[in-house]
Structure 1
Amino acid sequence: MRLKKWFGATTTTLLASSLMLAGCGGKTETGGNEGKSSIPTNAESAVSAPKATVALKAYFPGDKPAGFDDVLQAVNDKLKADNIGASLNINFLPWTDYGNAVSVKMSAGEDFDMYLDAPWLSMNQMIASNSLMELDAMVAERPELKASIPDEMWEYNKFDGKIMGIPLGTTQGQLYGLLIRKDLREKYGLPELQTLDDLEKFLYTVKEKEKDIKPFVINGIKADKLPFILSDSANLALDEVLEIGVNMFAYSIKDKKVVSQWASPMIADAYERVTKYYKDGILSKNIAQEQNAETLFKQGKYAATYYAADGVEGLKYSEMLQDGSDKLEVFVPNGDKAKPYTAFQQWNFLCIPTSSKHADLAMDVANWLSVKENHDLMEYGIQGKDWEPVGDTSYKVLSSYSFPGYVLTWRPTLNRTPDTMMPDDKKWFDFSTNPANFTLSPTAGFNFNAEKVKTEYAKITPLHDSVFLPLSQGVLPADKGKATLDEKMASLGGQKVIDEIQAQIEAVTSEK
């Protein structure tokens, strides 16, 4: 799972509350843990000389979770019982100032041991200034940590060939679809949706026959995902990689060229379809300003809404099934043959500053958190008080404890899902956590650095919201929107940005 910059604080909060996440970090000043990879059992700890406890300071974004002090005390107690030699001192900083605050602390040489960074924060700059610790050797020495994260995540989240942060995520790629009202589909005798034609028949049937229910709602800011859902090539690996980590651009495998998404033949049909749906009233005329899609769908005012198999989107609607019904289902276009491209790129990293005096111990704690029992304590809270297990891969929520696991504890092999997750959602989320269900992108390992074209990139970036989104929403008809984007991109230096993206992709692919 990824947490991109444009999600903002609202989605960040939702992400944390939806998955009941948790996080933290550690290491020892005495050197007793340096270089060791095994985690002692309680029996081993009992016969080992107790290690001096070093308090490791961590900075993470957001508000302190409810009940966090009790959970952190339990974590520190277990760290002591396991004789790791560390305790955790976790500090939360407001999202609005997190990036700047951490950069200032780093520049001032403040002594702290771990923090969340990302390419959308200051990670590239921190690497360029030699402010982050290289972690390759330390990861190799810690088998629990290494095994808890798929090899693909380690390999394709390096920076200049080096591990500069522990990649934090759950899913291995993007899989998009729609959440629909199953009860409405059955009401009109329609078969389970398998194709876009099936979807279209469902949406137009709702429009024709339902007086108080409209067909489809999506927040305007997310409408740039509609071409990924409403194209004949949705969720398939064909001739183009559409998500290369740079908004509005794609990569043509056939031509080995960077192209604009709106020029992509793979999703050209989607822009025409969106234009038609907007004109016909399938999409709300207010789509550009829409911000309450979740609420409107839960209120029963719409028959379909946006879905992503990320472990978050589907959970927003689990309360609709509290009456025991199964009135919701997930439609994933081409789901029976889905194997989308992925670069295995994650958007959040646990980083260790070079100024830390306790890097090895911090990694020992990351390793300790990669053992299921310890991971569950941090991420879900105190068993019996905050949660209880439901088998090995699910859990029941008992309290309001909600830790943001994307800052520290996300491990694809250890993740549990809430027992309120609808079966369809769990099916596709589980699908998305398995690397084998994706096709390796030829651009894997590419991470765009706009430094050489920062002026031009700054000029074209606003086109995403001013033109590209309206095109994706259907507000701008396909022909007009594409022409406008071509014209503006050319006049603002977009080709220079494309050439730089091209050069950086070629540099990565030539090394393979």
Structure 2
Amino acid sequence: MERGAKIFSLFIVLYMMLSLFAACNEDKNSQKKSSEEPLEQAKLLILTGADQTEQPDAQIVWDEIAKVTADNINIKIEVQSYAWGDYVQKVNTMAAAGQVFDIYLNFQGFLSGDVSKKQCIELDELIDKYGENIKKMVPADLFSDVSLNGKIYGIPSNYPVAGGTAFIIRKDLREKYNIPEIKDLSGFEAYLEAVTTGEKGMAGFVGRGGAGGLDFDLAFGPDVLNIGSDMAVFAEIDPDIKPYKAANKLTSDSFKKRMEWLKKAYKNGWIPRDILTIRDENTLLASGKAAALCNDMWTVNSLGPIVRAYIPGGELETFTFRDYSMPMIRMTKVNNFACISSTSNNKERAMMFLDWMRASKENYELYMYGIKGKHWNPIGDNQYELPEGVDPAKKPYNPSPWWAKVMQFDRLDKLSEPGFLHIYNQVVDAKYTTPELINFSFDSEPVKTEWVQVGAAYAEIMGPIGQGINDSEADYLAAIKRFDELGMQKIIDEIQRQLDAWAAKNKK
């Protein structure tokens, strides 16, 4: 009897163990099944600036992206495109109001402020979890460009980061007035004089600054590391002078030389009288109302077809003051990158989509060029052409690439502008060195009040001075004094303090 009881007890224990094993196995199978179930569709709102804000076929492409991602990341995108002159203010307004958006194009000059305002989020953990292809496709040295205090806040666009800016002018007008190809400042002056004299009502040079202004600066001084924003540079650091010194940009020799030239240009009528109210110089050039501007090399590809379509005989070309025979040095941080908004309700899915864009050439091409056969046709591996009947000046799908550009996947338009190719072919495979100084990132938080005050007043105070309108020495000195009252010197001192600390820490 006792032996039978023991056997029965053993049987019960064995049964319970088998039941427990089966339950565990069932739980694992259930988890596996659950993990294989498709994600619920998430909607992502993307904000960007664009040359072409209206795109009739955008929804068709967005629907196709939703279709091809349904079995994996399962997202449905909407891209809101704004004119460049309105874009930054639109993002700031939406963020301040707490409006929900997910991914937005950002620029180097605004990163520090956005981090301080908690407008964008840290991305390190999301990249580690969902950014396998981002790590493969983005050059490692670019991540330091979008980092503050050791944390990554942006996914860099990948494009030539040295030497990709240029002047864009009307080739047909240069030839009309028998001006030789422009190679220096005197040649540019001859062009502006001829056009503003001979073309009634046409503005001359409408370059207000921004990334393209870097090429203009080369006429007055060497490449330096600028601290500030695209439109308001506060300090400069010369990488060739050690120990490193942060100098007030507005009192530098190069700025004074630039200012003197702009005084002459304004006096001679080469700069329009309403230069301070111009918000979209690209449209002025494309519509035949301006003769020259500075921008990146891709801009000529966007504007060239429009000029030919609406200006009889119109043709654009590019030139630069950069000497491509000299070694290339990367003195600017990557200026275009994607941030994830702190108001996003789908932060993980936003990172998944940024990674999806870099996972394959097919994924990238779907967003960048649209539906194959409808919006574009491939030519080999590296070019494309528009289908017959598609007007290059009014493409039904022509998205802004700057929040997610991947140079390794890019195709060139078969009809790329000669002015674009003139610059692109010299920089796309160019070897460049990156000075150690590029890794220095300034945190404006300790001087956030002064930073905001100086930045807000910059256009009002320096606009008339920097464009040659108020041309007296007294005007200039009054502007410098006003900036000092707003805290410019405190900003310079803080930049120097952080620069010294960075140099000591990194033994530079």
Q: Any idea what the Cα deviations from partners look like across 1:17-48, whole Å, max 9, x if unmatched? A: xxxxxxxxxxxxx78999xxxxxxxxxxxxxx
Structure 1 residues 367 and 286: CA distance shift in structure 2, 3 A? closer
Secondary structure of residue in 2 paired with 1:448: coil
Q: Is the 8 A contact 1:307 1:330 kept in 2?
A: no
- Range with greater deviation from structure 2 (494-503 or 289-298): 289-298
Tell me the residue number matched to 2:183: 194
Cα distance in 1 for residues equivalent to 2:415 and 2:34: 40
Cα distance in 2 for residues equivalent to 1:380 and 1:278: 41
Secondary structure of residue in 2 paired with 1:266: helix
Residue 401 of structure 1, aligned match among 397, 402, 410: 397
Cα distance in 2 for residues equivalent to 1:33 and 1:175: 48
Structure 1 residues 350 and 434: CA distance shift in structure 2, 3 A? farther
Q: Is the 8 A contact 1:166 1:349 kept in 2?
A: yes
Q: Is the 8 A contact 1:135 1:162 kept in 2?
A: no
Tell me the residue number matched to 1:284: 272
Cα distance in 1 for residues equivalent to 2:480 and 2:440: 25
Shift of 1:458: 2.8
Q: Is the 8 A contact 1:135 1:164 kept in 2?
A: no
Q: Is the 8 A contact 1:136 1:162 kept in 2?
A: no
1:342 is the counterpart of 2:336: no
Could you list the runs of 5+ residues in structure 1 that have no partner in the other structure? 1-29, 35-49
Secondary structure of residue in 1 paired with 2:275: coil
Indicate the percent of aligned positions where both proteins have the same amino acid.
20
Tell me the residue number matched to 1:249: 235
Q: Any idea what the Cα deviations from partners look like across 1:204-230, whole Å, max 9, x if unmatched? A: 34456x2637572316x5489768516
Cα distance in 1 for residues equivalent to 2:121 and 2:321: 44
Q: Count residues with an aligned counterpart.
A: 450
Higher relative contact order (CA 8 A, sep 6+): 1
Note the 1:158-177 alignment, pairs <5 A. 158-168=147-157, 170-173=159-162, 175-177=164-166
Cα distance in 2 for residues equivalent to 1:204 and 1:105: 49
Shift of 1:324: 9.7
Cα distance in 2 for residues equivalent to 1:358 and 1:291: 33
Q: Which letter maps to 1:192?
A: E
- Larger helix share, 1 or 2: 2
Residue 410 of structure 1, aligned match among 382, 402, 405: 405
Tell me the residue number matched to 2:479: 485
Structure 1 residues 189 and 133: CA distance shift in structure 2, 3 A? closer
Tell me the residue number matched to 2:357: 369
Structure 1 residues 431 and 267: CA distance shift in structure 2, 3 A? farther
Secondary structure of residue in 2 paired with 1:474: coil
Secondary structure of residue in 1 paired with 2:151: coil
Q: Is the 8 A contact 1:227 1:472 kept in 2?
A: no
Shift of 1:277: 1.4
Note the 1:213-292 alignment, pairs <5 A. 216-218=204-206, 221-222=208-209, 229=216, 232-233=219-220, 236-237=222-223, 240-242=224-226, 245=229, 247-253=233-239, 254=241, 256-291=244-279
Tell me the residue number matched to 1:79: 69
Higher gyration radius (CA): 2
Cα distance in 1 for residues equivalent to 2:194 and 2:439: 45
Shift of 1:124: 1.3
Could you list the runs of 5+ residues in structure 2 that have no partner in the other structure? 1-30
Q: Is the 8 A contact 1:442 1:509 kept in 2?
A: no
1:137 is the counterpart of 2:135: no
Tell me the residue number matched to 1:59: 45
Q: Which letter maps to 2:482?
A: K
Tell me the residue number matched to 2:296: 309
Structure 1 residues 454 and 282: CA distance shift in structure 2, 3 A? same
Q: Is the 8 A contact 2:228 2:234 kept in 1?
A: no
TM-score, normalized by length of structure 2?
Answer: 0.73
Q: Is the 8 A contact 1:388 1:395 kept in 2?
A: yes
Shift of 1:266: 3.2
Q: CA RMSD in A?
A: 4.1
Q: Is the 8 A contact 1:71 1:378 kept in 2?
A: yes
Shift of 1:98: 4.7
Structure 1 residues 475 and 263: CA distance shift in structure 2, 3 A? same
